[in-house]
């Protein structure tokens, strides 16, 4: 069996991790991991030879079962609450010992890799997995080492992943269920057990970086995509699911830095955390997402997909297992990429939102205070009909466009963003990829060609030459002209038949912003609070 082995004797000994009598496979190549997965009955192959697996009970992350060890390092740093739930060091040790005992005597798969493409911030990660395909995922998603670099590898963090373990009497350990994902910042361990969903591994290390980088390195971690133009200008795209982050950052005229997780360093370098992409594939087509579609080939890993009956052809429209069907692949499966995955000179930041209420402008420029406010808010809308019980648009907020992965208070990240964008002279734009002419069910979705035209005009500097007007409720600065976009749609009020209905709906959304922001008010600066929309009728009339 072909494999890459680390040569010194210590590499065959995992006893320092509490793993006894294990048969350890070190840094197997993708072909070998795929072969083992199929031979063990853990996966199948598509007609073009791509590996497919089913992650079992969990087809997504389990946020309620995510914990951070509360100790001297974290107790005064972490924003404790619903997102960041504490676990005692003693209970972590008990659970770790249980998982180590469970894995002892078994086959395990070890992967040495690193995260953070900028060499100055590189962090070595050793991952030990129970399943070969979990290791395959790590090979795709973390940054890969040359064979010579594996010699003498020393990890800074370790991930231990045991999907087959389930805690008995979980309450006695201070956890909710038999599955869990725990970060221990003092011991530098990410412990994942009871769930085979691979995203728990990726998001565990991402969450760790979200505390380490701002606290220790003065680096802003960002849940975003990024690309760079021929002149070296970097653009950053924040956005929740369904807002167009992947689509809009994939630009044939610009090189992709990465599609999901980046850092913004003090020298204005934007660097990718990862070595791959983890994309949704529900309803995937070559026409709509050609880059992702063509990246699904040997070396990629499909999760929870369904084959067309009697074939090994993937039916991307089939959500019978989950809506969250996924593929991971090395970033090299995308043609137009930045190598290595970092660039300097950030010029523009795009906050993408799908406003199903139809009240936000399709493009607007933000002040530093507004940028911080909208960054903390992380707004988009769930569209009626997409979930049971939703009959009209519902506002959805996720702080910093990635609240489930942010250990620090959102204002920490927002104030870092404000300072960095001010120091670097970066422009921040709010792009609404949702509705115009009325809410969902009345208006229409903003055409992708118009959104692309707006972003192109910004990147080419064209919107620096036009006049702006201010939105009377949200205070956003809306351009009066944009090439290849109908001017009447640039102010959303113009697209509604009844102006009073527009104002009423806009005030309704503004109230949702205020209600969501209540939990941040005590930590937010005056500048950030000045970025909030107006909700007082008299103030609004003064701005009309």
pLDDT for the residue 384: 47
- Strand duo 43-45 + 51-53: pairing: antiparallel
Active-site position among 66, 126, 144, 203: 203
Active-site position among 25, 144, 223, 409: 223
From the centroid of its chain, how far is CA 116?
A: 15
83 tagged catalytic: no
Q: Which two tokens stand for residue 483?
A: 């090439």
pLDDT for the residue 1: 36
pLDDT for the residue 538: 52
260 tagged catalytic: yes
Active-site position among 259, 260, 291, 355: 260
Active-site position among 85, 111, 126, 245: 245
pLDDT for the residue 217: 96
326 tagged catalytic: yes
Active-site position among 139, 326, 382, 477: 326
CB 298 within 8 A of CB 304: no
CA geometry: angle 249, 114, 57, nearest 5 deg: 75
User: pTM for this one?
Assistant: 0.91
101 tagged catalytic: no
Within 10 angstroms of residue 39's Cβ, the number of other Cβ atoms is: 10
In 3D space, the residue among 421, 448, 420, 249 whose CA is nearest the CA of residue 338 turns out to be 249
Gap between the Cα atoms of 299 and 331, Å rounded: 11
246 tagged catalytic: yes
518 tagged catalytic: no
Active-site position among 241, 386, 444, 487: 241
Name the DSSP letter for residue 217. Answer: I
Active-site position among 32, 37, 59, 61: 61
245 tagged catalytic: yes
pLDDT for the residue 464: 94
In 3D space, the residue among 455, 462, 448 whose CA is nearest the CA of residue 429 turns out to be 455
pLDDT for the residue 383: 67
pLDDT for the residue 12: 57
Active-site position among 59, 246, 328, 495: 246
Gap between the Cα atoms of 491 and 488, Å rounded: 6
Q: What is the mean pLDDT of each run of 10 residues along the chain (544 residues)?
A: 39 85 96 98 98 96 96 97 96 98 98 98 98 98 94 96 97 97 98 97 97 97 96 95 85 93 96 95 90 96 97 96 94 95 96 96 95 94 56 86 94 90 94 95 94 96 96 96 97 95 95 94 87 74 57
């Amino acid at each position: 069996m072909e494999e890459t082995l680390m040569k010194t004797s210590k590499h065959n000994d995992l006893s320092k991790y509490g793993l006894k009598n294990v048969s350890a496979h070190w840094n197997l190549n993708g072909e070998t991991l795929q072969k083992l997965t199929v031979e063990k009955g853990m996966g199948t192959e598509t007609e073009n030879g791509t590996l497919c697996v089913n992650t079992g009970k969990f087809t997504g992350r389990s946020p309620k079962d995510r914990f951070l060890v509360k100790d001297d390092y974290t107790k005064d740093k972490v924003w404790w609450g619903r997102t960041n739930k504490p676990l005692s060091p003693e209970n972590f040790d008990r659970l770790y010992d249980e998982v180590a005992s469970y894995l002892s005597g078994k086959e395990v798969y070890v992967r040495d890799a690193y995260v953070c493409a900028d060499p100055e911030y590189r962090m070595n990660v050793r991952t030990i997995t129970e399943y070969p395909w979990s290791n395959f995922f790590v090979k795709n998603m973390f940054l890969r080492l040359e064979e010579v670099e594996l010699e003498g590898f020393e990890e800074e963090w370790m991930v231990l992943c045991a999907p087959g373990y389930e805690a008995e009497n979980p309450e006695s350990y201070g956890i909710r269920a038999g599955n869990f994902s725990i970060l221990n910042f003092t011991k530098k361990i990410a412990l994942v057990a009871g769930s085979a969903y691979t995203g728990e591994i990726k998001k565990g290390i991402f969450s760790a970086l979200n505390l380490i980088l701002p606290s220790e390195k003065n680096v802003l971690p960002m849940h975003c995509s990024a690309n760079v133009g021929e002149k070296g200008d970097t653009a950053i795209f924040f956005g929740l699911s369904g807002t167009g982050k992947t689509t809009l950052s994939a630009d044939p005229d610009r090189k992709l830095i990465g599609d999901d997780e980046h850092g913004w360093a003090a020298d204005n370098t934007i660097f990718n955390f990862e070595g791959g992409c983890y994309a949704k594939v529900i309803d995937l087509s070559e026409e709509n997402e050609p880059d992702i579609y063509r990246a699904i080939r040997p070396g990629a890993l499909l999760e929870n997909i369904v084959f067309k009956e009697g074939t090994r052809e993937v039916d991307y429209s089939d959500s019978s297992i989950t809506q969250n069907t996924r593929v991971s692949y090395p970033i090299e499966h995308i043609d137009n990429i930045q190598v290595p995955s970092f660039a300097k000179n950030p010029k523009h930041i795009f906050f993408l939102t799908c406003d199903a209420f139809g009240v936000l402008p399709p493009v607007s420029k933000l002040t530093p205070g507004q940028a911080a406010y909208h960054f903390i808010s992380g707004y988009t809308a769930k569209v009626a009909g997409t979930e049971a019980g939703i009959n009209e648009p519902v506002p959805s907020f996720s702080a910093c466009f990635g609240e489930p992965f942010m250990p620090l208070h959102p204002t920490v990240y927002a104030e870092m963003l404000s300072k960095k964008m001010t120091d670097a002279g970066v422009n921040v734009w709010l792009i609404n990829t949702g509705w115009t002419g009325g809410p969902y069910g009345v208006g229409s979705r903003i055409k992708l060609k118009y959104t692309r035209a707006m972003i192109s005009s910004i990147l080419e500097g064209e919107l620096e030459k036009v006049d702006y007007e201010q939105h009377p409720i949200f205070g956003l600065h809306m351009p009066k002209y944009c090439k290849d976009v109908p001017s009447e749609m640039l102010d959303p009020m113009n697209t509604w038949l009844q102006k009073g209905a527009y104002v009423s709906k806009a005030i309704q959304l503004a109230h949702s912003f205020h209600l969501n922001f209540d939990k941040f008010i005590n930590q937010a600066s005056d500048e950030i609070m000045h970025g909030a929309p107006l909700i007082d009728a008299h103030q609004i009339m003064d701005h009309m």
